[in-house]
Chains A and B, each alone.
Chain A
Amino acid sequence: MKFISITFLALLLLAKVCSAGNEVVVYTSEDKIFSEPVLQAFGKKTGIKVRAIYDTEETKSTGLVNRLIAEKDNPQADVFWSGDPVRPALLEFKELVTPYFSNTASDIPKIYKDEDGHWTGFSARARIILYNTNLVSMDERPLSVFDLTKPMWRGQVSIANPLFGTTSIHMAALFIILGDEKAKKFLNDLKANGVKIVSSNSEVRRLVARGEVKIGITDTDDASVAIKEGSPVKVVFPDQSSIGTLIMPNMVCLIKNSPNQENGKKLIDYLLSAEVEKSLAWAACAQMPLRYGVRTPPDVLTIDAVKGMNVNYHDVAKKLEEIGEFLKQWAGY
């Protein structure tokens, strides 16, 4: 018995209880490989200890948003840095975030900021068509997502499960732009054309890179990684002469009643700075700065070079809730 109690006490000593101090807790769904250096730079610059929880890709675990919702009564996180523009709106609907207008965001275009200050956008990704250059020639490449319902691409197109991640946001945006009827018809035509629904955007990238399918709809960061790995793939920004493609900024928000509000605000200020936009443009994720003045590498388009869909992210979040059941059935779930 003595042995047991000694062991128990020894184990208890191992518990390194995370104490409050000069720190900030951030939950981020931006890929760790890209977000970690940014957070480390903030820590170095300000001396504030950053304690981060990173997420997996949306389809690999029930991650951070569920955790934030479950922790509502005693929030642990101060800041939520979302890799997409819809989850923060969702947290706003669930009354988990508190408004904060950051001074550093004054030069970020208005359409990327919530007018009530619940969330603010920075560095963006876009939805793109990725094609395998060994299997598709430059002339054949589809220039619109609507081309993918054509018989020539039968069984050759891959898309991530539209219930999750950026694909779900893309679908909701299409429903807003096209109207429900047309959007449903497009999705049904896509399905009739044998579209391959896979688990995630990175799985789409893998299948296109390996030539298992000729074409995939995915995000700019996935494409950028495939290109950097030397895969035979190229990118098309779809529908540039019509509806445009979906632009998806990162978004940051302050969690209501969190333990380190002031440090949270400092982190938000930093994340919204031109310095962070620049570093995310030069990183492998090749994200597009929302400010016009930030210098980017030659292969990263600036936001004004891409025609984006004219949608409000609030509306997209609402639409997503509406069309969930349809998408579930469409995906065969």
Chain B
Amino acid sequence: MQKKLTLGVFFTLFLATTFLPIVWMFGNSVYEEGRFSFAYYRDVFLTLKYGKVISNSLILASITTILSSLFGVPAGFFLTKTNLPLKKLFKICFFIPLIIPSYIIGIAWTNLLGKTGFLNNILSQYLWFSPSSISDFTYSIYGASFILSINLFPVVMLVTEYALKSINPRLEESGLVVGSVFQVFRQITLPLIAPAILSGMMIVFVLSLSEFGVPSLLQVNVLTTQIFTQFSAFYNEKAATAIAFPLIVITFILIMLEKIYMRGKSFEMLGRTSSISTTQYNITWLNVVGITFCTLVLLVCVIIPLSTLIFNTKTISAYHNAILLARNGITNSVLFGSIGATLLTFIGFFLGYLSEKIRSRLKNSTAAFIWIFFAVPATVSGIGLIKLWNRAEGTCQFIYSSLWIVILGYVIRFLPLSSRIMANYLKQIPNSMEEAGTVTGTSWFRILGKILLPLQGYGLIATWLICFMFCVGELGTTILVYPPGHETLPIALFTVMANSPTDVVSALSIIIVVMTLLPVGVFLAVSKYLVFKPNQNESVEYF
């Protein structure tokens, strides 16, 4: 009863915060002049008008996902499974691309690869490319995918890393007795973390489907730029919402594909013991490959974009001016981001439980139902929030005029994400553990507090970190709903970007990186003490 009631409350919370505003928008888009009309949807689905755009979106998302995985999976592996020097530094640095707004990374790379760019000069001098062909490549769907994958690979990396930490080391140790490291990785480790990686890839795919900044900068014609055009050039929110529908359909198809892949596979045997006992390979050649790979990724994804920013901020006064501009944004971002991430992790845990642990035929549908909302573009969510919370009678003014509307914006955007990540981690805890608690007749809250939550230590931290970074970087919805005086850092950055000196804009970008990394660093440091660590005598075997 306790369990059902709690889960019911959290599902209702999801319906109220995320489902309602979005469904409001879609409902509105099929209602024109007092009657139902599917005119906009006919345009999208029954004519060839959007065929090219949809295929462009799919190509962009696919290439981005593949490239992100090529960067992210090995990075996650090397940072968890080997004894690389400067491992912690790498780890923190690899968060940076996720924090810098993709638009800024885009500008940095177009500066480098543009016709007069530094890298373009080098490449065209020593390779057979012409300067304009390199520039054309940058301003193409492939260039956009490359830049986006730099931005999003940390998601795959983080998911891989925490999945690797959750593996029961004895499985790998047993494998190592009879096989080589490579065999163990291919036949034991990789299959065990495959669902987590797949989940990470799915997140990246959907994120790049709904990404607007980079395609817009590079003038790549995708669904999101079409949606933007309908909103901002034609002020036609109904058409815009209809064009957003394919994003949801694509996401739904993906979920179905994932379900087919996962069918009949069980991952519950994974049961985590503790981080101390994660199997680490101390092999010289693996370390060398690891350090080379991580350095290369660091160079391409972090040092190059960051150094362009640092190079642009020629003077200390640029930082001074940037801080003056961002003063309010810094405190707001850290405060809103922390509240948002905490709420998202908290609600996400229960929704994750609902979509992974309940014994019901509805389990799969619940997970899919929650996840499809992740594909909804920020603007659609933002307008939906205004319509729902800015009531003519002023009844919801205490929400619409306060920080809560910004937090609701974070929730609507990222609740599907946080619940998916949590579901993914919960998947690894065997049901038997909870059942063991139930047998003793203890209340469900106690089982939660003493068994499930402590075992989810890493999952909770990973979810909080990812949510915090996404919240702090959110622009599309926040800019539509933030009350005066509640601007966040990305808003400070994007509102001063127009016509501010380049050095101040670059300095502000660097401040965003530092301000986001600081709480992340503190959290990482503190989290060591928060995670449940059974000692060797207490560790339990799950298989």
Q: Which residue of B lies closest to A12 (CB)?
A: B404
- By the criterion CB–CB under 8 Å, are A15 and B484 in contact? no
Chain A residues within 8 Å of chain B by Cβ, number: 62
Chain B residues within 8 Å of chain A by Cβ, number: 64
**Most B-side CB within 10 Å, residue of A51, A53, A69, A285:** A53
B454-473 contact mask (Cβ, 8 Å, vs A): 1 or 0:
00000000000000000000
Instruction: Pick from A143-151, A185-193, A196-204 the stretch touching chain B.
Output: A196-204
A25 within 8 A of B: yes
Q: Which residue of A lies closest to B389 (CB)?
A: A74
- By the criterion CB–CB under 8 Å, are B103 and A60 in contact? yes
- By the criterion CB–CB under 8 Å, are B485 and A60 in contact? no
What residues of B have a CB within 8 angstroms of the CB of A25 in the complex? Answer: 484
What residues of B have a CB within 8 angstroms of the CB of A54 in the complex? Answer: 487, 495
What residues of B have a CB within 8 angstroms of the CB of A277 in the complex? Answer: none
**Those of A22-46 within 8 Å (CB) of chain B:** 25, 31-34
Q: Which residue of B lies closest to A207 (CB)?
A: B114
What residues of A have a CB within 8 angstroms of the CB of B496 in the complex? Answer: 31-33
Instruction: Pick from A102-110, A111-119, A160-168, A306-314 the stretch touching chain B.
Output: A160-168
Question: Could you tell me the distance in whole angstroms from the C-beta of B46 to the nearest C-beta in chain A?
Answer: 19
Contact of A15 among B213, B393, B398 (CB under 8 A): B398
Question: Could you tell me the distance in whole angstroms from the C-beta of B302 to the nearest C-beta in chain A?
Answer: 23
A61 within 8 A of B: yes
- By the criterion CB–CB under 8 Å, are B391 and A74 in contact? yes
- By the criterion CB–CB under 8 Å, are A56 and B483 in contact? no
Q: Which residue of A lies closest to B482 (CB)?
A: A53
Complex CA–CA separation, A108 to B408 (angstroms): 44
**Those of A293-333 within 8 Å (CB) of chain B:** 324, 327-328, 332-333
Question: Could you tell me the distance in whole angstroms from the C-beta of A324 to the nearest C-beta in chain B?
Answer: 6
Contact of A55 among B216, B382, B399, B495 (CB under 8 A): B495
Complex CA–CA separation, A222 to B500 (angstroms): 10
- By the criterion CB–CB under 8 Å, are A17 and B402 in contact? yes
Known: A65-B235, A163-B229. A14 touches B217 (CB 8 A): no
What residues of B have a CB within 8 angstroms of the CB of A197 in the complex? Answer: 219
B231 within 8 A of A: yes
Contact of B390 among A62, A71, A228, A328 (CB under 8 A): A71
- By the criterion CB–CB under 8 Å, are B383 and A328 in contact? no
- By the criterion CB–CB under 8 Å, are B116 and A90 in contact? no
Complex CA–CA separation, A58 to B217 (angstroms): 12
**Those of B431-486 within 8 Å (CB) of chain A:** 445, 475-476, 479-485
- By the criterion CB–CB under 8 Å, are A198 and B386 in contact? no
What residues of A have a CB within 8 angstroms of the CB of B213 in the complex? Answer: 60
**Most B-side CB within 10 Å, residue of A66, A168, A284, A285:** A66
What residues of B have a CB within 8 angstroms of the CB of A58 in the complex? Answer: 232
B501 within 8 A of A: yes
- By the criterion CB–CB under 8 Å, are B231 and A66 in contact? yes
- By the criterion CB–CB under 8 Å, are A212 and B115 in contact? yes
What residues of A have a CB within 8 angstroms of the CB of B501 in the complex? Answer: 225, 228-229
Contact of B383 among A66, A206, A228 (CB under 8 A): A66
A76 within 8 A of B: yes
Contact of A18 among B115, B235, B339, B483 (CB under 8 A): B483
**Those of B86-112 within 8 Å (CB) of chain A:** 103, 107, 111
A70 within 8 A of B: yes
Contact of B216 among A32, A59, A228 (CB under 8 A): A59
Contact of A73 among B107, B339, B392 (CB under 8 A): B392
Complex CA–CA separation, A228 to B501 (angstroms): 9
Q: Which residue of A lies closest to B387 (CB)?
A: A70
- By the criterion CB–CB under 8 Å, are A70 and B103 in contact? no
B537 within 8 A of A: no
What residues of A have a CB within 8 angstroms of the CB of B401 in the complex? Answer: 17-18, 76
- By the criterion CB–CB under 8 Å, are A56 and B497 in contact? yes
Contact of B217 among A163, A199, A324 (CB under 8 A): A199
B217-231 contact mask (Cβ, 8 Å, vs A): 1 or 0:
111010001101101
Q: Which residue of A lies closest to B403 (CB)?
A: A15
Known: A33-B496, A33-B499, A221-B499. A17 touches B397 (CB 8 A): yes
- By the criterion CB–CB under 8 Å, are A74 and B392 in contact? yes
What residues of B have a CB within 8 angstroms of the CB of A333 in the complex? Answer: 221, 225-226, 229
A211 within 8 A of B: yes
- By the criterion CB–CB under 8 Å, are B497 and A324 in contact? no
Q: Which residue of B lies closest to A7 (CB)?
A: B342
- By the criterion CB–CB under 8 Å, are B499 and A222 in contact? yes
B178 within 8 A of A: no
A182 within 8 A of B: no
Q: Which residue of B lies closest to A34 (CB)?
A: B499
Question: Could you tell me the distance in whole angstroms from the C-beta of A14 to the nearest C-beta in chain B?
Answer: 6
Known: A74-B394, A211-B116. A33 touches B485 (CB 8 A): no
- By the criterion CB–CB under 8 Å, are A164 and B232 in contact? yes
What residues of B have a CB within 8 angstroms of the CB of A211 in the complex? Answer: 115-116
A48 within 8 A of B: no
What residues of A have a CB within 8 angstroms of the CB of B233 in the complex? Answer: 163-164, 168, 324, 327-328
Question: Could you tell me the distance in whole angstroms from the C-beta of B328 to the nearest C-beta in chain A?
Answer: 12
Complex CA–CA separation, A61 to B476 (angstroms): 6
A210 within 8 A of B: yes
A-B contact pairs, 11 of them (CB 8 A): A18-B402, A56-B479, A57-B494, A60-B103, A70-B237, A70-B390, A168-B233, A197-B219, A202-B497, A285-B499, A333-B221
The 9 A-B residue pairs with the shortest CB-CB distance, nearest first, are A51-B484, A15-B402, A163-B233, A18-B401, A70-B386, A56-B494, A54-B495, A57-B498, A73-B392
Q: Which residues of A contact B (CB under 8 A)?
A: 1, 11, 14-18, 25, 31-34, 51-63, 65-67, 69-71, 73-74, 76, 90, 94, 161, 163-164, 168, 197-199, 202-203, 206-207, 210-212, 221-222, 225, 228-229, 284-285, 324, 327-328, 332-333
A-B contacts besides A32-B495, A51-B484, A57-B497, 11 pairs, CB < 8 Å = A54-B487, A56-B497, A62-B231, A62-B480, A67-B386, A90-B235, A163-B229, A202-B497, A202-B498, A225-B499, A228-B501
